[in-house]
Structure 1
Amino acid sequence: MSTKTPFILDDFLPYQLAVVAERVSRQFARHYRDMFGLSRSEWRVVAHLSQQTAVSVREIAAQAELDKSKVSRAVSRLEEMGYITKKSSSTDRRLVVLTLTDAGRAMIDALTPIAQGYQDEVLRSLASDAEGFQSALKRLMAEPAQRG
């Protein structure tokens, strides 16, 4: 007679990662929400745009693991707020290319030291495990999304 190991949700790695990601994200969200009135999706769009000169909605949705409709709504609001501009792609008229405005770059410049400080705080809470944790996360992020 074999005994089955009981399923314990709190020990299930995908659950742990989801809960920790939500908590860390929620705690940092208060900064960009309070300072600039941004939602999480809007922050992620701006953050991705800050890493590239021009990018499409489709590319951001894929990179940020966001639903394309969420990205589209975030883009519309960010454009209304004056943080990004939208243009049709010169190579494919169906694609919209997004870029940060001067106001969008100023927002990122204001949030960058806050984001770095928050990351440092989280890493300090991991103490001597921080380097290994970051290394493991990078490996998981680099793996193809073919597990699902």
Structure 2
Amino acid sequence: MSKHEPVPFALSDFFPYRLAVLAERVSVAVAQLYADRFHISRAEWRVLAALGANNGMAAKEIGAYSTLDKMQVSRAVSRLEEAGLITRAPDDTDRRAKILTLTAAGRILFQKIVPLARAREDYLLEDLDVEERAVLEKAMDKLLARAQGLIERG
């Protein structure tokens, strides 16, 4: 192959691309339910879900937990706070940080969305039998560990 011949490559067959497409489609399919019914964005849902699962977190922790970048977290937090769904309180261990928690209205919204999100998850996985689900879980764990190893190696 000469320097000027294109290297054979089909993006549609490239594993990272296929995984990104799958993740995006699944995310959009689930996001439809809370966007349409509750008028919150994916980022806002992820912040709500992080706080619902952890009973209070600093914004920087939410970013790492939810795979949102700092700006996405900041916008989502502002919007959720304006809507009365979360509150900020001083962090006793770091005066520069604020601990975010769900308000009563935020907790109610979280509890309304979780069963709907679970139903979407169930629908997505419905065609997989128990063994296939176990294989998928194991494969995802292995891939996540390998990806983390690459990130750490640089």
Q: Do they fold alike, i.e. is TM over 0.5?
A: yes
Q: Which residue of 1 aligns with 2:38?
A: 36
List alignment gaps of at least 5 residues for structure 1: none
Percent identical residues: 45
Q: Which residue of 2 aligns with 1:7?
A: 9
Structure 1 pair 48/141, CA: closer, same or farther in 2 (3 Å)?
A: farther
Q: Which residue of 1 aligns with 2:78?
A: 76
Count of residues in Structure 1 that have an aligned counterpart in Structure 2: 146
Alignment of 1:13-32 (within 5 A): 13-32=15-34
Q: Which residue of 1 aligns with 2:56?
A: 54
Q: Which residue of 1 aligns with 2:142?
A: 139
Structure 1 pair 146/95, CA: closer, same or farther in 2 (3 Å)?
A: farther
Greater shift, 25-34 or 131-140, is seen at 131-140
1:130 aligns with 2:128: no
Shift of 1:126: 3.5
Structure 1 pair 140/47, CA: closer, same or farther in 2 (3 Å)?
A: farther
Post-superposition Cα deviations, 1:4-26, rounded to whole Å, max 9, x if no partner, equal: 98222112111111100100100
Shift of 1:47: 0.7
**Using the alignment, how far apart are the partners of 1:38 and 1:141 within structure 2?**
28
Contact 1:124 1:130 in 2 (8 A): no
Shift of 1:143: 5.4
**Using the alignment, how far apart are the partners of 1:5 and 1:69 within structure 2?**
37
1:90 aligns with 2:92: yes
**Using the alignment, how far apart are the partners of 2:79 and 2:133 within structure 1?**
36
Greater shift, 51-60 or 121-130, is seen at 121-130
Structure 1 pair 70/107, CA: closer, same or farther in 2 (3 Å)?
A: same
Which stretches of structure 1, 4 residues or more, deviate above 2 A after TM superposition? Answer: 125-131, 138-148
Q: Which residue of 2 aligns with 1:115?
A: 117
Shift of 1:144: 6.5
> TM-score, normalised on structure 1?
0.89
Q: CA RMSD in A?
A: 2.0
Larger radius of gyration: 2
